[in-house]
Amino acid sequence: MRRLPDGGLVGGNAVTGGQRLTWVDTAKGLAIILVVIGHAWRGAQDAGLMAASPPGLFAAVDTRIYAFHMPLFFLLSGLFLVSAVTRLSVAEFVGSRVLRLFYPLVLWTYIFAVTKVLAGNLANTPLALGEVFASPIPGRWQFWFLWALFVLQIGVLVLRPALRAEQWRRPAIWGLLLLGVVLQTLPLSSEVQVWTSNATRYLPYLALGMVLAEFHAAPVRIARGYGLILVAVFAVVLAAVPDLARFGVPSLVSASILVLSSAGIAVWMAERQTALAARLADLGRYSMIIFLSHTIFSAAMREGLIALGFGNLVVHMVLSTSVGLVLPIGLQRLFERFASPRLIGV
């Protein structure tokens, strides 16, 4: 059985057998674009730029973006987790998670806090100087993701003995998936949710990625042959997300369908070697630095446009999203040329 090594924003390099898993990079590219758009969209709303927009537009877009894009990152992380946990010693695994998740979390929480203080009243939510050095744990702002992922990945170490035993690995993974589903039904205390950055909410997607990794060849083969069907499923379910919620369909169900179909679409696009897949894969390889720094650049663009008198929502979204994707890549390349990108957590 072929197992996947760990990878990128979701844990390391998406590489297997000496070659990058292009479809994983493509999926990460799709997800990171949605992250940037989602934050730009909410920033525009908070800045009052949607006053003239049709009623319900903000919620219609926001609900659909946040229905699945972060669960997709957790699923992609799960693809590489079993390999990392079983291949590395406990000390090596914990050290790698500290370097790849905890260090960027701490560093960029403080960088982001300082930029908010420097922005003063220009920030949508100004930050007092005394709040700069508040603990980065649990995750603040968008960095909740890194803390939740860190908590889940360290927690999986409990299963390490079972994951290393061939006869117990799959039962352990399926058991973890079942635990994740059950936890969705339990009234967990607010303290647990706060201090884990709601990690239990995303455990099913992490475990689902671990399951897919065990049957890697079959899901990829299916996705290759049914790409158009996956596109149709994704489009229908995404359009129906608010109605599904009103009819009592759990978000876990709709999100799982969206996550699996979007991952399958990424496989299909990557196998067809489309130009769009190549561009998405390029962004996916820079997903960590984009995630860490995009809000700084997007917010600066938004406030600059407001200062210059530009209030058009389309202009704001296009430019804020563009700089949120492009400038972080430039920042990483700068560190690759003159220093080490590890200094900035990538």
Q: Could you report the per-residue pLDDT of 30-68, keeping only the tens digit for each?
A: 999 999 999 999 999 999 999 888 989 999 999 999 999
Q: In the chain, how many domains are there?
A: 1
Q: In Å, how far are 7, 80, 209, 291 from 212, measured between CA atoms?
A: 15, 10, 5, 25
In-domain check, residue 2: no
Provide the residue range defining the domain that includes 314: 8-344
Report the pLDDT value the prediction gives residue 100, as an integer from 0 to 100.
96
Range picked from 9-23, 27-41, 50-64, 213-227 for highest mean pLDDT: 27-41
Give the model's confidence band at 204: pLDDT under 50 very low, under 70 low, under 90 confident, else very high. Answer: very high
Q: Is the predicted pLDDT of residue 14 greater than 70, yes or no?
A: no
Confidence at 18, pLDDT banded by 50, 70, 90: very low
Q: Are 267 and 309 in contact (CB under 8 A)?
A: no
Of 174-178, 267-271, 338-342, highest mean pLDDT: 174-178
Residue 160 has pLDDT above 80, yes or no: yes
User: For residues 53 and 145, which has the higher predicted lDDT (pLDDT)?
Assistant: 145
Q: Where residue 12 falls among pLDDT bands split at 50, 70, 90?
A: very low
Per residue in 89-110, pLDDT (tens digit) is 999 999 999 999 999 999 999 9
pLDDT score of 295 more than 60: yes
The whole-number average pLDDT for the span 126-136 is: 87
The rounded mean pLDDT for the chain is 90
**273, part of any domain:** yes
Establish if 35 belongs to a structural domain. Answer: yes
Note the pTM of the prediction, 2 decimals: 0.91
Q: What is the pLDDT of residues 327-338, one digit of tens each?
A: 999 999 999 999
CB-based burial of residue 89 (10 Å sphere; 0-12 exposed, 13-18 middle, 19+ buried)? exposed
Tell me, yes or no, whether 3 lies in a domain: no
**Is 1 a member of any domain?**
no
Q: How confident is the model at residue 256 (pLDDT cuts 50, 70, 90)?
A: very high
Across residues 201-220, what is the average pLDDT?
Answer: 90
Asked if residue 28 is part of any domain, the answer here is: yes
Query: What pLDDT shows up at residue 342?
Result: 93
Helices and strands, counts by H and E, the chain: 16, 2
**Predicted confidence band at 11 (pLDDT cuts at 50, 70, 90)?**
low
